[in-house]
Each structure stands twice: as C-alpha cells, then as structure tokens.
Amino acid sequence: MAETVFPTKGNLIAIKRSLSLAKLGYDLMDRKRNILIREMMGLIDTASKVQGQINDTYARAYNALQKANITLGIIDNISKTVPIETGINITSRSVMGVEIPIVTYEDQAPKPYYSFSTSNSMLDDAYISFYHVKQLTAVLAEIENSVYRLANSIRKTQRRANALKNIIIPRFEENVKFITEALEEKEREEFSRQKVIGKTKERKRLEAAELESETKAAS
C-alpha cells in the first residue's frame, strides 16, 4: 500500500528522481558485492594452498626437531637464543572501499643463532623449516584477515542491496503508480467537467439565440 503522499506533479517528479537514484544505488551495490565475492573466493583458494604448505612444512620441522632432540638431547637452551621477530610490517589496500591488510615480511636468509659446534644438520633442517613456517604464517594471516573483512562487507552490502530491492524501490514504484493514477483520474474528471461546461454554454448560447430570434420575430 502506498504511503500517504499528495498526488501532485511536483511530488511525482521528485519520487521518480528518487526511484532512479535507488535503482542506481542497487546496481552499484550489486556490482560491489560481486567484485568482493570474486576477491574473497580467490583469497579462499589461496588460503587453502598456503595452509597445505604450512602443514607440510610443520611436519618436516617437527620431524627434524625430534631427530635433533634425539641426537643432541634437550635443546631448550638453543631455542632461547632465537630473537623475537620484528621484521613484520602491516599496511593496507582498498578493494571497493574495504581496507584489507598487507603483511610484509622482511625476507632474509635464515641466520642460525646457535653455535655450529653444538648443533647438527637435523637442527639446521628444523630451524630452516620453522623459518619457512613463520613466513607462510604471515601470508596466511594476511589472507584470513582479508577474507574476514571482505565477508563482513559483503554481508553489509547484501543487506543494503536487499533493502533497496525489496523495500525502498517497490515503495517508490507504488507511490509513482498511485500518483500517476490519481493525476490521470483528476485529468479525466477535469476533461468531463470542461465537457459539461462546454455543453452547458453551448445550450445557453443556442437558447439565447433562439430567444433573440423569437423576440425579433415578435416585433
């Protein structure tokens, strides 16, 4: 049911303009949603591959670490020589107005922080494997955070697009229909009124002419 609106030509023009803007807004929202979905699906595919690489690298790292423990004994003291990671930087890029992170890892050749005299090749393999895990984890963190932000934006965009498509646009269309029909009815009524007035004037003119003719004939 159309909301209360006065059926005037001015209102009809204004509502038609609002309807056009609402349809344009829906098209833009739908286009944005599709672009974000494509971006997100591409990232999800990449995340799956990176996760597989992390799992494989972790398996190699733990296997090498286990062998190092067996051959060298407990290596807790060696692990304490590894410094805290400070080579990760985070910036961002925009995809259709959605800020998603860019994680930059300062990729340098792995540099052991332990003495070669107290280590062996198994420990070196474990160190290098965990180093690669750290690199891949930074990549995966960027992808997963990006997917999360894109998914949130897609949901918001979908809600707005649905509101335009299912509520706002139909309401404007209903109001346009209501005003158009009301104005057409008003025009028909005005036409009928003018037609009646015209017939009345013509009848009176004919009656006046007849009366004048009779008056002249009587004189």
> Are 47 and 137 spatial neighbours (Cβ–Cβ below 8 Å)?
no
Domain contains 206: no
Which of 133, 115, 134 shows the shortest CA–CA distance to 124? 115
CATH of residue 126's domain is: 1.10.287.3240
Poorest-pLDDT segment among 19-28, 85-94, 207-216: 207-216
> Are 59 and 213 spatial neighbours (Cβ–Cβ below 8 Å)?
no
Domain contains 183: no
pLDDT confidence band for 1 (50 / 70 / 90):
very low
In the three-class reduction of DSSP (H, G, I as helix; E, B as strand; rest coil), residue 101 is classed as: strand
Domain contains 219: no
Is residue 117 predicted with pLDDT exceeding 90?
A: no
Is residue 39 predicted with pLDDT exceeding 60?
A: yes
Residue 113's pLDDT is what?
61
Domain contains 205: no
Which domain does 163 fall in, by range?
A: 9-172
> Are 140 and 54 spatial neighbours (Cβ–Cβ below 8 Å)?
yes
Taking the CA atoms of the chain, what radius of gyration do you get in angstroms? Answer: 40
pLDDT confidence band for 10 (50 / 70 / 90):
very high
For residues 103 and 3, which has the higher predicted lDDT (pLDDT)?
103
Split into its structural domains, the chain has a count of: 1
Does this model's pTM top 0.75? My answer is no
Please tell me what DSSP assigns to residue 117.
G
- Residue 73 region, left (φ>0) first, then alpha (ψ -120 to 50), else beta? left
